[in-house]
Structure 1
């Protein structure tokens, strides 16, 4: 697929070092949805973006750095907590990171005097992805090349609750997961099954599994029919839709219809790595 080389960035932010990961806050609460976090070799920066559609006196985009957090090791992943609120007094900034030392760090700040973090340990290999529960933010899940998905209450300092998933094929790895807070009726192909507080785990071998957190077992799976599957996302606003990238294509499923893709299209000539 021919890439369009004529597009230029509408806005740029100068960074002191390499940027390894960037995440907008996906939760909309006041100005909180305009928060952005990016991580480098030993820091995480929290910033606020304001767009022309929101403020008439702004041309294009306006960016402001709110806080820089020392991290001490390369940042590989960032996940925002729904507890983050800029319109509260005091404001609450809460997010967690995965790092090159195979640890998760949970940061909490009021952008003033309170700046705390704690370390969650338990993985024995690189962490591929992590996420908060999108409703309350009291739980964190993560997946790793150690072939485990771990699920923990964010108020603890160790992975108390987790289950191990054994390799299903050579080169098995976990790449992405997402919580959902609503009950999803899975349709006639999965009669009688529901998914409440489920967890989606995507594997690089092209399989996406949905787990019941209470029973700690898989109740549904999807197949991409392409490898490697690098990233997947469960839509929070339309819970029947799941998207992913595998090989050079993006893929869309409707889980009420089939375990096989509803739509597949080429997107990158040199593999796609992230899907939202």
Structure 2
């Protein structure tokens, strides 16, 4: 790979401890700004709004569309999964709701994106659960890995991605990666015929209108891939990461029009992966730092 693709992070932000998970809000909150958005900003500026004491290691975060900072009082609402197998719904103006039911590690969770009235979660207990905001739930028996709640997309570690009708709770479409383990998948919100995932060391792309088998598959990471995320700013841009816990966890930014990664970066024991709402900017966590990479195409 050409040396010019190896880049240091565009920006870094110091943190107090190791960052296990990081998630840009997909909704316009306006509390974190970059110089690409405002030329008067030197690099990155952000505002600390509120500190929530969790008490247990956080493994995943999902933002509610009910989060609003442009009204009084401002409302911050999000949910988390934790190492104690519980889901917590946090709101800045109400008490925290704790949801219990999963009996093993919770891999991922997501809000219904239109109104945020439901939350879906997947677990190593082989269930997908859909919760209302009071903590009531129904479940599907599956082999879980990752979810995307537009209809309901569920990625199973055994290499299958299924799409469910939430009313009937029946699968309406399935995709097959062809090998295992499937560790992360994402539905492209700017072009919803595209689904991507990382399976073992490779990344794979489906066109759901053409085949249940991948349209494209390429090697990604030497020591297993961990995360796959589509850019929200460009339907041909996506990022993958290697497994955290190495001396340096590799970030690869890919463009479907380029045969090689357009950015190669690394972070000290990196974890998590997220894209900015409108910029071609992704972030991963690391030891006492957040690392941001801006893609220029």
The TM tier, using the shorter chain, reads: 0.7 to 0.9
TM-score, normalised to structure 1's length? 0.78
* Relative contact order, higher structure (CA 8 A, sep 6+): 2
- Look up the match of 1:82: 65
2:99 maps to 1:120? yes
Superposition pairs for residues 146-185 of structure 1, below 5 Å?
A: 146-154=125-133, 156-159=134-137, 161-165=138-142, 173-180=143-150
CA shift, 1:87, in A, is: 1.6
Deviation per CA, 1:108-134: give whole Å up to 9, x if none: 11xxxx353110111011101100001
Q: Which position in structure 2 is the counterpart of 1:58?
A: 41
| Alignment partner of 1:207 out of 160, 180, 191 | 160
Partner Cα separation in structure 1 for residue 15 and residue 8 of structure 2: 18
Written as runs of structure 1 = structure 2, the 5 A alignment for 1:230-241 is: 230-241=183-194
Say what the alpha-carbon RMSD is for the aligned residues.
1.9
Q: Secondary structure of the residue that 1:68 maps to in structure 2? A: coil
1:24 corresponds to:
24
Provide, for residues 75-109 of structure 1, a one-character-per-residue CA deviation record: whole Å limited to 9, x for no partner.
01101111112222222111000000100000011
Deviations 1:10-38 (A, max 9, x none): 222222222111111123x3xx2x5xxxx
In the TM superposition, residue 272 of structure 1 has moved relative to its aligned partner by 1.1
Are the counterparts in 2 of residues 122 and 158 from structure 1 also a CA contact under 8 Å? no
Where does structure 1 lack aligned partners over 5 or more consecutive residues? 35-47, 166-172, 181-197
Q: What are the residue-to-residue correspondences of 1:182-201 with 2, within 5 Å? A: 198-201=151-154
Whole-angstrom distance in 1 between the partners of 2:152 and 2:4: 36
Distance 1:53 1:17 in 2: 28
Structure 1 residue 240: deviation in Å?
1.3
Matched pairs, number: 229
Say which SS state the counterpart of residue 48 (structure 2) adopts: strand
Matches of 2:194 and 2:13, distance apart in 1: 33
TM-score under structure 2 length normalisation: 0.73
CA 1:16–1:5: 2 relative to 1, 3 Å: farther
The answer for unaligned runs of 5 or more in structure 2 is 230-297
